[in-house]
């Protein structure tokens, strides 16, 4: 008695053949100079669109009197520098800090006693 064949084997075989054909086609296409020029053109167009979008956003934010991303990044860098300076000052003063004073007790008795 023979066991029934795997029903997914046909689909796995077809998928494997399709992957081989796609890889072969892609490798052949990427070897061509036209493909390289097309990819360079697409990359250049993408970079130009990003630059145009950035300029447009900066103008819109300036018109709305809002900070740009670079403004916020510069402020964040300044705050980080100030926090580092403050941490150094606190560390230097930490060794010289006076002893804590005891807080007065909160009881119902008057101070005179």
- Lookup: tokens for 14: 């077809």
User: Nearest to residue 52, comparing CAs of 60, 40, 64, 42?
Assistant: 60
List C-alpha distances in Å: 52 to 41, 58, 59, 102.
16, 10, 11, 64
The structural domains of the chain, with segments of one domain joined by +, span 22-64, 66-95
- What pLDDT, on the 0 to 100 scale, is given for residue 98? 61
Predicted pLDDT of residue 2: 42
Q: Can you tell me the distance from the alpha carbon of 69 to that of 53, in angstroms, rounded to the nearest whole number?
A: 13
Per-residue pLDDT tens digits of the chain, which is 113 residues long: 444 577 788 889 999 999 999 999 888 888 888 888 999 999 999 999 999 999 999 899 989 999 988 899 999 999 999 999 999 999 988 866 566 677 767 767 666 65
Look at the pTM and tell me if it is higher than 0.95.
no
């Amino acid at each position: 008695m023979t066991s029934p064949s795997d029903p997914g084997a046909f689909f796995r075989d077809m998928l494997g053949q399709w992957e081989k054909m796609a890889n072969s086609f892609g490798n052949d296409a990427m070897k061509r100079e036209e493909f390289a020029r097309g990819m360079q053109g697409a990359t250049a167009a993408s970079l130009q669109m990003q630059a145009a979008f950035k300029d447009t956003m900066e103008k819109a934010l300036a018109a709305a009197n809002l900070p740009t991303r670079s403004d916020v990044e510069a402020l964040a860098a300044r705050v980080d520098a100030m926090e580092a300076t403050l941490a150094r000052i606190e560390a230097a003063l930490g060794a010289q800090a006076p002893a804590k004073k005891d807080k007065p007790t909160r009881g119902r008795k008057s101070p005179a006693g």
